[in-house]
Amino acid sequence: MSSSDPPDAAHRAAVRRVATGVAVLTVELASTPHGVTVSSLTAVSRDPLLVGFCLHRSSSCLEIVKSCRGFAVSVLNATQTTTARWFADPCRPRGRAQFDGFGWQPDPVSGAPVLADSLAWISCRPVANIDAGDHELLLAEVVGGSTRDDGQPLLSFAGQIHEANLRAVPARATTR
C-alpha cells in the first residue's frame, strides 16, 4: 500500500482504538458564547505547555476559534455524556441559548464559559493551526487552569462515548 492509497476499514478501525478524553471547547466572541465538543484533545508539549485538538472543516466553531484571542476547554467527567452529545449536535441553538440548562462560569482569562462539574478546565491562547486533511489541527498554549480532586473521565473509544472507571496500575520495579 502506498501513502497515496486511501485507508481501508482495518486502518480506520485501528485508529478508532485510540482512547481520548472528551472535552467542550468554548469561546466568548463579541459577548456571545460558543461551544463545541472535541474528542481529540491532547497534551503536545511541556515547555511551553501546549495542547492540541482537531475540528472538522465544516464545524461552525472553527472560524470562531481561529479568530479569537483565547478560549477555554472543559474536560468532561464520566457523568457528562449528555453535555458531550449536546455540544456535538449541529442542530443545537447557537450563542447563549446553547448553554441554557448547563451550569457554568466565565473563564478568568478568556471569559469563555467553563462548564460546571468538569474534571478540569484549561485556559488557552491559540498559537498555530495546521491543515490536517478534512480537519484543522489547532495548537494552543495553556495559560491557566484548575482541576477537581475527584471524578472519572469521559472517553471516546471505538466511535462511542464511554463513562470511564479507571483503576491505577501500581508501579513495578523493572528487572532488566
62: helix, strand or coil: helix
Report the C-alpha gap between 85 and 134 in whole angstroms. Answer: 21
pTM of the model as a whole = 0.89
Q: Residue 1: what pLDDT?
A: 45
Tell me which residue of 113, 100, 103 sits closest to 36, measured CA to CA. Answer: 113
Domain annotation covers residue 146: yes
Domain annotation covers residue 16: no
Contact status, residue 73 vs residue 87, Cβ threshold 8 Å = no
Q: Identify the CATH number of the domain in which residue 128 sits.
A: 2.30.110.10
Report the C-alpha gap between 117 and 135 in whole angstroms. Answer: 29
59: helix, strand or coil: coil
Domain annotation covers residue 38: yes
Give pLDDT tens digits along the chain (176 positions). Answer: 455 566 688 888 888 888 889 999 999 998 999 999 998 899 999 999 999 999 999 888 888 988 899 999 999 999 999 999 999 999 999 999 999 999 999 999 999 999 999 999 999 999 999 999 999 999 999 999 999 888 999 999 888 899 888 888 888 866 66
Domain annotation covers residue 35: yes
**How is residue 99 written as a grid cell?**
448553554
Domain annotation covers residue 2: no
Domain annotation covers residue 53: yes
Domain annotation covers residue 6: no
Report the C-alpha gap between 84 and 149 in whole angstroms. Answer: 21
Our CA angle for 100, 122, 77, nearest 5°, is 60
How many domains are contained in the chain? 1
**How is residue 14 written as a grid cell?**
485501528
Domain region containing 96: 22-163
Domain annotation covers residue 153: yes
